[in-house]
Amino acid sequence: MRLWLLLGLLATLPAFGDRGAEIYAKHCLSCHGDKGQGVSDEYDESLVGTKSIASLAKYIHRTMPEEDEDAVIDKEAHLVAQYIHGAFYSPEAQAKIKPVRKDLLRRTQHQHRRAITDIVQSFRGRAQLGTQNGLRGHYYHKEKMNDRKKELAKRIDPRIDFNIEEDHKVKGIDSKAHAIFWTGSLLPKESGRYSFRATTPNGVRVFINEMEREKFYGGETHRKTAFIDAWVSSANQLRSVEASIFLLGGHPIPIYIDFVSYKEKKSSLLIEWKPPHGKWEPIPTRVLYTESAPTAAIISTAFPADDASLGYERGSSISKAWKESVAKASIEASRQIYNDINVLAKTNSKDKKRNDKLKAFCFEFATRAFARPLSTTQKTLYIENIFDADKDSETATRRSLMLILTSPYFLYPSLNRGDDGKPDHYTVAAHLALSLWDSVPDKELWEAAKEKRLGEETEINNQLSRMMTDFRTKAKTRSFFYHWLSLSEKEDLEKDPELFPDFDQRMVADLRTSLDLFIENVIWSEQSDYRKLFTEDKIYLNKRLAKFYSAPAPAQNDFKLLLTPDKKRAGLFTHPYILTAFSYHKQTSPIHRGVYLSRNILGRFLKPPPNAIEFKDTDFKPNLTMREKVTHLTKNENCMACHSIINPIGFSLENYDATGRFRTHEKNKPINTISEYPTPEDSMVKISGPDDLARLAVESPEAHRAFLKHLFHHLIQQPINAYGFKTMNSLHKTFVDSNFHIRDIIVTMARETVPR
């Protein structure tokens, strides 16, 4: 035994001694160190984890110390467990030993884009989309150069798929001379690059994120360039024209379509899109709205990936590539802003007060970007000096905007403090906007801060309730689920075409939509019940999915919440998209399914494998089932330290093949899904299928805490222990007391982390 370590530990004991510490010093310290940090050449892994005291006691009783497993048993094992749990093992103990501090974080790439868009949008006003889905269609006769001779009909069209030879239900339309235009908004669900396609033998112009004409302040009208311009047809031949654009999830944009057919035999128009992770399809009715949104300034500058080393993305890394992206983004944004400066600054080329208005616009832009009134120094640096140095107000405006968008006061939201360096009402407004929207405060938050109302709990709750209904909150919540479920990086979900001939990329896109709708249905229902994520026995299916999964097809090709014939579904655990994502191209993967479910959903701690072993199907006899292969591959004692947890979970889902279809046999053998599963308390329970997994997720505090931890990090982007080691316990109690209400716990997290 290392005497100096023993003496050092004994010197810290209470005057009357601590029996658990004494036993630890005698039997454990020489291998594990005085604070469980490990000892080189003995046991160099830290004694840190999430087991309960009872579970630790059982483990110590059964296996420790290795050289004499009967030396510390029964009551003494419990005393040691109690000591190390409070001294250094538990997360709470680690928080005391190594206090976790809040980091100074910049905006992530997504927050950067979102903030710029919302700042510019604040000068136009936010969209009021209403509840009516589809686009407003206006149908006219055409006569020579007059595209809109006589209005025949106004109606709401669920999608743009017009054909004069089909039942279009427009009475009196001249089949050889007509014009149609559609207006409304499009609300993308996720951020990324979207492709659009117009297929027609006629003339069409499609405007995405800009109207055909926009009237400037003072009556000037500016004609926009069409996003897709196929106005001149070629001998009435069917053709397709494509274009792509970067869009922000949860941010509505205007869409305007102008279509004409004159003295032509054929007349048809199909407008399709291909969203990120999707395939070409008619734009779904659920993302179209009849009311037109204002044009949005959306930057597409590529940013380097944000740091995700702690399990969630955060703006902690500063690199040359990031600095270059910030500079490029400021140039792109200032160019977009100046293209619409007359609208934003309410001026025009003949306005005698144009220079003053441009300067005032930059001042207000900086105020909204920094999310607080400018100090005298800031006003001088970002506005006055630039306009004084450059008498050309247009050049000065561009320079001022670029300087504002590269300022630390914009890039680092946590710098938002009062003159005394302490948080104030504007700090609270900025925190709420960043937590729920990844953005800057809107008009309502700004007014509440200005009137010093954000020191009141009631006002904060009112603001959060309002903010929860915003499309940006819904977009951020959606992205959380893809991160929590480890689906963000899952791009290749293709399966072997010989084994699964009907499973193609269109099926994958439909399954992704199905998962989106399922998550939305749970979160935004009145109950918003976390438990429903695992207990729902239905999935959303359209005709294509219903056919593949042998379910009754919905009447229309829209998605409906339906039972599958197997009637053995358990929410996320058995959703085909997730089962597909965690499978191989030819077969299931109990290991991948078990690891992801264990860590992310059930909250089990798994050490990295001591030796990474690649699964090679060719190493096994062809008549073996996947369970038999995995059992053989992981039979080593070192492997089973974690695979005793992983394998039972993966095996319990073997009734679902690599595409999530239910089956009862593999290799002509009945599938065995039954296993003994060790709980965090070291008791053994039988798992035989997804219902048992659902029960664990619903009833296990570890599963609840895993969900809360991932959600907290996604919203707040700071370590949860930075807010005190009792924060998790408090959130868990609130979660349970609210009947596991997801939206309520989101509000609680945003409110309880307000800088005080």
How many Cβ atoms from other residues are within 10 Å of residue 138's Cβ?
15
pLDDT attached to residue 216 = 57
Q: Is the dihedral of CA 142, 143, 148, 153 positive or negative?
A: negative
717: tokens are 């982007």
pLDDT of residue 143: 86
| Predicted confidence band of residue 17 (pLDDT cuts 50, 70, 90) | very low
Angle between helix 109-121 and helix 320-339 axes, rounded to 10 deg? 20
- Locus of tokens 């658990």: 20
Average pLDDT (220-241) is: 85
Residue 218: the pLDDT is: 58
Q: Is the pLDDT of residue 612 over 50?
A: yes
For the segment 570-608, what is each residue's pLDDT rounded down to a tens digit?
999 999 999 999 999 999 999 999 999 999 999 988 877
How confident is the model over 475-534, as pLDDT tens digits? 999 999 999 998 877 777 999 999 999 999 999 999 999 999 999 999 999 999 999 999
**Is the pLDDT assigned to residue 380 strictly greater than 80?**
yes
pLDDT digits (tens, 9 = 90+) for 642-655: 899 999 999 999 99
pLDDT given for residue 10 in this prediction: 42
Q: Distance (Å, rounded) from C-alpha 364 to C-alpha 620?
A: 68
pLDDT digits (tens, 9 = 90+) for 108-118: 999 999 999 99
- The answer to whether 680 and 52 have CB atoms below 8 angstroms apart is yes
* CA-closest candidate to residue 222, choices 138, 117, 348: 348
Section 611-638 average pLDDT: 85
The secondary structure of residue 285, as a DSSP letter, is: G
Give long-range contacts, CB 8 A cutoff, 24+ apart: 174-177: 174/141, 174/142, 175/267, 176/261, 176/262, 176/263, 176/264, 176/265, 176/267, 177/141, 177/142, 177/143, 177/261, 177/262, 177/263
d(CA 725, CA 744): 21
Work out the burial of residue 597: count CB atoms within 10 Å of its CB; fewer than 13 is exposed, 13-18 middle, 19 or more buried: buried
pLDDT band for position 15 (cuts 50, 70, 90):
very low
Quick one: tokens of 611? 């030796």
Return the bridge partners of 241, or none.
198
Has residue 613 got a pLDDT over 80? no
With a cut of 90, say whether residue 11 has pLDDT above it: no
Cα separation, 436 vs 460, in Å, equals 13
Whether the pTM exceeds 0.75: the reply is: yes
The one-letter amino acid code at 147 reads D
Query: What is the CATH superfamily name and number for domain 3-97?
Result: Cytochrome c-like domain (1.10.760.10)
Query: Residue 4: pLDDT above 50?
Result: no
| Fold of the domain built from segment(s) 135-289 | Jelly Rolls (2.60.120)
In the chain, % of residues over pLDDT 70: 95
How large is the average pLDDT for residues 678-691?
89
Mean pLDDT on 294-306: 95
Cα–Cα distance, 302 to 741 (Å, whole number): 37
Q: Which residues contact 256 (CB under 8 A, 6 or more apart)?
A: 181, 182, 183, 206, 207, 210, 211, 212, 292
When pLDDT is averaged across residues 375-396 and rounded to a whole number, the result is: 93
Q: Which long-range contacts (CB under 8 A, 24 or more apart) does 208-213 make?
A: 208/243, 208/245, 208/253, 208/254, 208/255, 209/245, 209/247, 209/253, 209/254, 209/255, 209/295, 209/296, 209/298, 210/254, 210/256, 210/295, 211/254, 211/256, 211/292, 211/295, 212/256, 212/258
756 — pLDDT class (breaks 50, 70, 90): confident
CA angle 104, 110, 111 (to 5 degrees): 50
Query: Of residues 310 and 218, which shows the higher confidence score?
Result: 310
Alpha helices per DSSP H over 306-346: 320-339, 341-344
Residue 183 has pLDDT above 70, yes or no: yes
Distance between CA atoms of residues 670 and 662, nearest Å: 13
Instruction: Average the pLDDT over each of 18-22, 97-101, 267-271, 620-624 and give the range with the smallest value.
Output: 97-101
pLDDT at 627 over 70: yes
Mean pLDDT of the chain: 90
Neighbouring-strand partners of residue 163: 268
Candidates 168, 231, 169, 160; CA nearest to 201 is 231
Closest CA to 579 of 676, 503, 502: 503
How much is the pLDDT for 651?
Answer: 97
Average pLDDT over residues 72-95: 87
Residue with tokens 């065995």: 672
Partners of 137 in beta bridges: 155, 182
What are the φ and ψ backbone dihedral angles of 666, each rounded to 5 degrees? -140, 135
Instruction: Tell me how far apart the alpha carbons of residues 70 and 438 are, in angstroms, rounded to a whole number.
Output: 55
Q: Are 115 and 74 a contacting pair, CB within 8 Å?
A: no
Q: Is the pLDDT of residue 133 over 90?
A: yes
Q: Which 8-state DSSP code applies to residue 189?
A: S
pLDDT at position 390, please? 80
CB count within 10 Å of CB 746 equals 25
Confidence class of residue 14 from pLDDT cuts 50, 70 and 90? very low
Whole-number Å distance between alpha carbons of 31 and 25: 10
Q: How confident is the model at residue 2 (pLDDT cuts 50, 70, 90)?
A: very low
Which pLDDT score is estimated for 553? 87
Q: Which two tokens stand for residue 419?
A: 């003159």
Domain positions in the chain: 3-97, 135-289, 320-468, 505-699, 702-752
Question: Greater confidence, 233 or 191?
Answer: 191
pLDDT(172) > 80: yes
- List b or e across 603-633, with b for residues whose CB sees 16 or more CB atoms inside 10 angstroms: bbeeeeeeeeeeeeeeebeeebbbbbbbbeb
